[in-house]
Amino acid sequence: MRARRLFVVLTCSVLVAAVFAATSLGRSDKNGSTTAASGTVVLSGWGASPDELKLLKQVLRGFSKTYPNIHVDYQPITGDYVPAMLAKFAARKPADVFYVDSNVFLDWVTQGLLEPLDSYAQQSKFSSKPFYPSLLNGFKYKGKIYGYPKDWSPLAMEVNTDLAAKAGVKPASITNWATLTAAARKLRGVMPSGSKPICLSPSWDRALAFVYQNGGTFLNATKTKSTVNSPAAAAALNYYVGLIKQGLADIPAKLSVGWCGEALGKQKAAIIFEGNWLFPFMTSTFPSVHFSTQRMIMQKQHGNLAFTVSYSMAKDAQNKPAAWQLIRYLVGRPGMATWTSKGLALPSRSDVKPVAGRASFLADAPAARPWQFAPRFSQVIDTANNELSAVIEGKESVAQMLQKVESTANDTLSK
Amino acid sequence: MSATAAAREDRPGRGFGSERVREALVGYLFIAAPMVLYGILFFYPIGYALYISRYDWGVLGKIDTVGFGNYRELLHDHRFGIAVKNGLKFTLAFTICSMALGLFVAVVVNNAIRFRGFFRSAYYFPSIASSAAITAVALFILSADGLFNQITGFDRAWFGESGTALWALVGLNSWTTSGMVMLFYLAYLQSIPTDVYEAAAIDGAGAWRTFWKITFPLLRPGHFFVSTLLVIGGLKMFDQAFIASGGSGGPNNSTLVPVLYLYRVAFYDVRFGYAASVGIALMLIIFGLTLLQRLTFGRTDAN
């Protein structure tokens, strides 16, 4: 009798254990996640071009096949992205997953708007090692990861090959400031009226690359003090503005274009410094313009800027397990491979190869520093850009500009 | 007088009083709904802005209490100073240009000319068109190789140079607003009694003299009304400056106007408390200027 009771108890225990194990297995998906994710997840970003949208939808279709229980509601934001997102955060109704530009990341994370992703990554054994460290660092705050870079681009130098050939300039020979000036001088003779050899943007998101090339910096390593008022930065900016003063370059407004990419397309300039975003623009708008792309020029060292955007999760996300699965898929190897397959964006993972012809961009990956400074720094960049315009217009000297920019930056850092 | 007679005499008085009260109540009832809306949409936001202007206020709410710290910072804020200066410069030029253009057009289309209706509609059209669309078109027309330069022979990027960008905005806004100004002046012109003009004609006054001695002074209430609207509108200008400068207020802060500065402080620096103090300061400036106008133009109007 006792043996029979023991048998029944044992059988029941085994059955309970089996049911528990089966349930646990059911909850753990094939990618190693321990929580079952289902329901709807809202994905937001700024408006994409038709080509980008096509690729994103392709990636999302792949996600739906892998996670049939999760429905992705893609809600792009048209217009000014940052204010629209802040309004949603303030209403406590943000999208679950969204784009965060490295430029605004520190503002958003210090306001407590983003969810740290380390525990999700740990739980699902998601490795952050394949990501380029300088890009991933752009989305780390106090040692925690708040987003994974979805793609990136440094600046490169693009040269109109037809105009260069006409002027007898070999684009590959332009490697530093001296050779750039020499090439611009040669190009000046073949440029049509109303155009200039080089197009330079009157903003620090281009000029700072020249500062880095000359060994200058904007902030110290701990980001507690501005170091921009230095001889290295002054020399770089004098060179940058000097190209305009010598008539070898001009700003987009003076060339009657919105940005330097348009100047290359309309042949208003033969040399520009833009990122990977130039390719889809040129293919769709100016397919007949021939140009070469090469690594950004250098001076004392290689120096470049990295523009990157992450997929992040909102602290107030409604469906966090599903949001994590979506982020993991989008920045994972298959998702990123699809997203970058047409060359519209460069992969931020070293284990995903970019399309052919992008070697010049990848070469700068170690030298490129994220376009990111400190919280509430937009005011400083506004001041810096306005001062640069004043210098270009001859209303101020480079030394005066650097003094003002450094003082504004230090004021902001001390608050 | 007997007590009954006194009481009888009192009754109509009481009746009149209660009727007045009833009438007043009906009146208040009519204005109650809009006043409630006004309270929700105007007084509450102003009160709330005053409240948050005393804090370091982030996206999710209060971060720190700063008291009047935001206002103190405002007094020493270089870029706010530039924004106010630009705002005042723009408002002064825009008000004068719009009034002059609007009045001129109103006087012209007030005459019995052929196709008067067509001209009135044509001049009013820019006022109803989207300011964003008009600004976008103006950016093309006023670009370095745009239509304006090709016709006039200039060689400038009007929105791309700090010396001309604000004046380009003045020109653009004066043109788009002149239709509305024309409409107001037309209404005031038609309210001037014709016998004054007849008397002037009998006295042998010419058109120029009639305009300056009769039309212009008699339009004084119109000047007050139109200039008040334009000063308030000028100081609150945002969309054209935002589009023309790509949201930056550049080049070299030349199109940085107070509301654009407020927008940047709120949404790019994420400092809602400080942005609220900018808003309150702007409200005080507008209130002060309106009061000043009332004391100058408006006095005769009140009399």
Q: Are A314 and A108 in contact (CB under 8 A)?
A: no
* Whether B269 contacts chain A with CB within 8 A: yes
Taking an 8 Å cut-off on Cβ atoms, the answer to whether B59 and A389 are in contact is: no
How far apart are alpha carbons A270 and A247 in whole angstroms? 14
Taking an 8 Å cut-off on Cβ atoms, the answer to whether B162 and A383 are in contact is: no
B6 and B101, same domain (yes or no) = no
pLDDT-based confidence at residue B74 (cuts at 50, 70, 90): very high
Q: Mean pLDDT, to the nearest integer, of A146-165?
A: 96
Residue B64: inside a domain, yes or no? Answer: no
Domain ranges, residue B46: 2-52
* Whether B60 contacts chain A with CB within 8 A: yes
How far apart are alpha carbons A263 and A251 in whole angstroms? 10
Q: What is the pLDDT of residues A200-230, one digit of tens each?
A: 999 999 999 999 999 999 999 889 999 999 9
Residue B57: inside a domain, yes or no? Answer: no
Chain A CB contacts of B157 below 8 Å: 253-254, 256
B23 and B140, same domain (yes or no) = no
CATH number of the CATH domain containing B228: 1.10.3720.10
* Whether B270 contacts chain A with CB within 8 A: yes
B236 and B181, same domain (yes or no) = yes
Residue B205: inside a domain, yes or no? Answer: yes
Among A82, A251, A395, whose Cβ lies nearest the Cβ of B268?
A: A82
Measured between CA atoms, how close is B197 to chain A, in angstroms?
Answer: 52
Please give the mean pLDDT across all residues of chain B: 88
How far apart are alpha carbons B150 and B142 in whole angstroms? 10
Chain A CB contacts of B268 below 8 Å: 82, 104, 107, 378-379, 382
Q: Mean pLDDT, to the nearest integer, of B95-122?
A: 90
B125 and B239, same domain (yes or no) = yes
Beta strands at A249-250 and A196-199: parallel, antiparallel or unpaired: parallel
Q: Are A345 and A154 in contact (CB under 8 A)?
A: no
How big is chain B by its Cα radius of gyration, in Å? 26
Inter-chain CB pairs, A–B, below 8 Å: 89
Chain B CB contacts of A204 below 8 Å: none
Q: Are A123 and A358 in contact (CB under 8 A)?
A: no
Taking an 8 Å cut-off on Cβ atoms, the answer to whether A376 and B271 are in contact is: yes
N residues, chain A: 415
B87 and B38, same domain (yes or no) = no
Q: What is the pLDDT of residues A105-136, one digit of tens each?
A: 999 999 999 999 999 999 999 999 999 998 99
Residue B290: inside a domain, yes or no? Answer: yes
B34 and B141, same domain (yes or no) = no
In the prediction, which pLDDT does B115 show?
84
B175 and B144, same domain (yes or no) = yes
In the prediction, which pLDDT does A47 show?
82
Taking an 8 Å cut-off on Cβ atoms, the answer to whether B59 and A111 are in contact is: yes
Among B161, B250, B265, whose Cβ lies nearest the Cβ of A385?
A: B250
In the prediction, which pLDDT does A51 show?
83
Q: Which of A77, A382, A415 to mutate to test the interface with B (most CBs of B within 10 A)?
A: A382
B42 and B160, same domain (yes or no) = no
Does the global pTM surpass 0.80?
yes
Residue B119: inside a domain, yes or no? Answer: yes
Burial of B29 (0-12, 13-18, 19+ CB in 10 A): exposed
Q: What is the pLDDT of residues B172-225, one digit of tens each?
A: 999 999 999 999 999 999 999 989 989 988 988 888 899 999 999 999 989 999
Residue B102: inside a domain, yes or no? Answer: yes
Taking an 8 Å cut-off on Cβ atoms, the answer to whether B157 and A256 are in contact is: yes
What is the number of structural domains in chain B? Answer: 2
Measured between CA atoms, how close is B41 to chain A, in angstroms?
Answer: 18
B97 and B231, same domain (yes or no) = yes
Looking at the DSSP assignment, which residues form a beta bridge with residue A306?
Answer: A154, A370
First to last CA, chain A: 80
How far apart are alpha carbons A244 and B70 in whole angstroms? 40
B203 and B110, same domain (yes or no) = yes
Among A83, A254, A389, whose Cβ lies nearest the Cβ of B162?
A: A389
Chain B CB contacts of A383 below 8 Å: 79
pLDDT-based confidence at residue B17 (cuts at 50, 70, 90): low
* Whether B162 contacts chain A with CB within 8 A: yes
Residue B185: inside a domain, yes or no? Answer: yes
Q: Does position B227 have pLDDT exceeding 60, yes or no?
A: yes
ipTM over 0.85: no
Residue B123: inside a domain, yes or no? Answer: yes
Taking an 8 Å cut-off on Cβ atoms, the answer to whether B162 and A395 are in contact is: yes
Q: What is the pLDDT of residues A257-299, one digit of tens each?
A: 989 999 999 999 999 999 999 998 999 899 999 999 999 999 9
Taking an 8 Å cut-off on Cβ atoms, the answer to whether A393 and B60 are in contact is: no
All domains of chain A in start order, with CATH: 34-153+309-356 (3.40.190.10), 156-306+363-414 (3.40.190.10)
Measured between CA atoms, how close is A194 to chain B, in angstroms?
Answer: 8
Among B143, B144, B248, whose Cβ lies nearest the Cβ of A385?
A: B248
Number of other residues whose CB lies within 10 A of the CB of residue A21: 10
Among A83, A385, A395, whose Cβ lies nearest the Cβ of B267?
A: A83
B30 and B98, same domain (yes or no) = no
* Stronger pLDDT, A146 or B9, i.e. the higher one: A146
Chain B CB contacts of A83 below 8 Å: 263, 266-267
Chain A CB contacts of B265 below 8 Å: 379
Among A82, A90, A389, whose Cβ lies nearest the Cβ of B252?
A: A389
What does residue A313 show for φ and ψ, rounded to 5 degrees? -115, 140
DSSP collapsed to 3 states, chain B: CCHHHHHHHHHHHHHHHHHHHHHHHHHHHHHHHHHHHHHHHHHHHHHHHHHHCCEEEECCEEEEECCCHHHHHHHCCHHHHHHHHHHHHHHHHHHHHHHHHHHHHHHHHHCCCCCHHHHHHHHHHHHHCCHHHHHHHHHHHCCCCCHHHHHHCCCCCCCCCCCCHHHHHHHHHHHHHHHHHHHHHHHHHHCCCHHHHHHHHHCCCCHHHHHHHHHHHHCHHHHHHHHHHHHHHHHCCCHHHHHHHCCCCCCCCCCCCHHHHHHHHHHCCCCHHHHHHHHHHHHHHHHHHHHHHHHHCHHHHHC
Taking an 8 Å cut-off on Cβ atoms, the answer to whether B144 and A378 are in contact is: no
B39 and B163, same domain (yes or no) = no
